[in-house]
Chains A and B, each alone.
Chain A
């Protein structure tokens, strides 16, 4: 609170640094105590235990989704009269009806395209804008830098509902309500606080020697950004892309407000309309969930390979 007015005590900083232990203890320090064979055996057991734990957690996490998956192949009447696990017991009476109902929904193909048209720029734009800003926040010095950054991150707390009315009247004033442009701009803005926050944190953690030596060698910011920073930041960019894509892809509220239910509506709108006003027919949502999940999962898996160790190998000081 009074942080800003206090002259920073270098001793305290270095003490904190030690507690945080950013460099971590060296291998030598850790190896100071010799390890007995008994402990090694314990470790192997630990390894087996850990493995079992991973499997257990993964299974636990998958049970609800698996239930949904089974239910998506059962009739509405069956789903509402017995638990989904009964569907696994013979005699099986699986049906593709739910999938048929979703896929035959009027305009689903167009809606799928619309979702893509909304989600691709809705992902690239905020990630780009945020990457520029995060670079400056992490590696440039300018007045009010931290306060500006803080302000942007603080806006994470703004509930989207709070922005809808003022933004809609701006869009309507500009005459772009109902256009793709409106929703791209909206998703870019809504995604920015988190994107800037995440990227600045990752960028800031990159080794300074690298940046500074490049700058001293006379490389421009643009070159440092594209040639050094972006390649190093691939894992963080990949995770950001995954989330932003997913959020935009699954969004219903923002689309309903800025695009409406017409020809440009995304798939979420079409799917929501499969249920009537009393919530009947909800079993089609089981199939719809899997159909709409397919693409985010493809994005997730195709970006998986960027989560690799060693991008930073050799570049870390110490």
Chain B
């Protein structure tokens, strides 16, 4: 059905002659192209997903079928609801910040002479192994008692200005933001690199012409650049949302999910590996899977639109 409507759309907006009906060859050839990817994905991802679905309907040691009881337990646990709320905060702030900054930087560095150096500066955090990044941010957020030399950069600045040192990762008013800042620092480079690659696809003639005609840079940005690379922006944003749905490393290493910073993936990890509760942990993973359905619907709309327009 999906294909039909797309074909219809394509035919409606296209000036190219209508396609000939699908023949056997046309049915087989695409499968040769996608075959390897499909096989990999079936074995390495789909099979574990089905396995998880099955486990999520059973008890902790998978000895008994319990239906949806694991899900009921999750959604009636107030602590767990707080965890879901944290994920939402991460998704909203993390995606907005990384995509906006990545786009801004990609556009800005596109027009300065030291593009390579600037890009490298933003990209380096991505290249640092997570172990290294953990140490880096220790040097930023570290808290030492008042009167002691501050090893953490933020508290050193704060105390130099006459303030009291803050426990950035403990104080529940700021700790989530402090952690999200680490994510933004790490992943803005990712958004920048991909958006920058897309930006290079925007023909310079159009921009030059606009400039010659006196269009302001801001105008060019919003009326030429953003629309032209909007498919890539959508890809990057989607990737960030999904990434943030399963955000794990930063929180696990820096706060362990304590002090109100817990998220779904950290809970999943604890239940699975520490408690060996295969029922609840699998149910948490299934919630992640369900949560991306709306995102995928958004994507399918977008792709159909792209298809219709080219």
State if A and B touch, Cβ cutoff 8 Å: yes
Partner of B9, one of A8, A64, A197: A8
B121 touches A142 (CB 8 A): no
Chain B 124-144 against A: per-residue CB contact (8 Å), 1 yes, 0 no? 111111111111110110000
B27 touches A205 (CB 8 A): no
In the bound complex, how far is the Cα of B142 from the Cα of A282, in angstroms? 14
Chain A 153-173 against B: per-residue CB contact (8 Å), 1 yes, 0 no? 111111101110111001000
B209 within 8 A of A: yes
Closest chain A CB from B35 CB (angstroms):
8
Contact (A62, B124) CB under 8 Å given A8-B8, A24-B206, A204-B310: yes
In the bound complex, how far is the Cα of B130 from the Cα of A288, in angstroms? 11
A166 touches B47 (CB 8 A): yes
Which of A104-112, A116-124, A125-133 participates in binding chain B? A125-133
Across the A-B interface, how many residue pairs have beta carbons closer than 8 Å? 393
B132 touches A288 (CB 8 A): yes
B151 within 8 A of A: yes
A223 within 8 A of B: no
Interface residues on B, range: 35 or more
Query: Contacts of B228 on A, CB cut-off 8 Å?
Result: 22, 24
Partner of A208, one of B212, B216, B310: B310
B121 touches A62 (CB 8 A): yes
Query: Contacts of B245 on A, CB cut-off 8 Å?
Result: 157
Contact (A30, B213) CB under 8 Å given A83-B149, A239-B197: yes
Classify the secondary structure of B's interface with A. Answer: helix
Partner of B227, one of A24, A148, A150: A24
B269 within 8 A of A: yes
In the bound complex, how far is the Cα of B209 from the Cα of A31, in angstroms? 9
Partner of A162, one of B48, B196, B202, B293: B48
Chain B 287-299 against A: per-residue CB contact (8 Å), 1 yes, 0 no? 0110111001101
**B230 nearest in chain A by CB position:** A20
Partner of B309, one of A22, A65, A165: A22
A63 touches B153 (CB 8 A): yes
Contact (A193, B8) CB under 8 Å given A67-B139, A313-B203: no
Chain A 287-306 against B: per-residue CB contact (8 Å), 1 yes, 0 no? 01110110011001100100
B interface list, Cβ under 8 A from A: 1-3, 5-9, 12-13, 16, 19, 22, 26-27, 29-31, 33-34, 36-38, 40-41, 43-49, 51-52, 101, 105, 108-109, 111-112, 116-137, 139-140, 149-153, 156, 185, 188, 190, 193-194, 196-198, 200-206, 209-210, 212-220, 223-224, 227-228, 230-232, 234-235, 238-239, 242-243, 245-246, 248, 265, 268-269, 272-273, 285, 288-289, 291-293, 296-297, 299-301, 303-310
19 contacts between A and B (CB under 8 A): A8-B12, A20-B309, A26-B206, A27-B212, A50-B112, A84-B139, A146-B303, A148-B38, A151-B41, A154-B292, A162-B285, A205-B198, A205-B201, A205-B231, A289-B131, A289-B136, A297-B124, A309-B204, A313-B205
A interface list, Cβ under 8 A from B: 1, 3-8, 10, 13-14, 16-17, 20-22, 24-28, 30-31, 33-35, 39-40, 43, 46-47, 50-51, 53-55, 57-59, 61-65, 67-68, 71, 79-85, 129-130, 132-133, 135-137, 140-159, 161-163, 165-167, 170, 185-186, 188-190, 192-194, 196-198, 201-202, 204-205, 207-208, 212, 221, 235-236, 238-239, 242-243, 246, 250, 252, 268, 271-272, 282, 285-286, 288-290, 292-293, 296-297, 300-301, 304, 307-313, 316
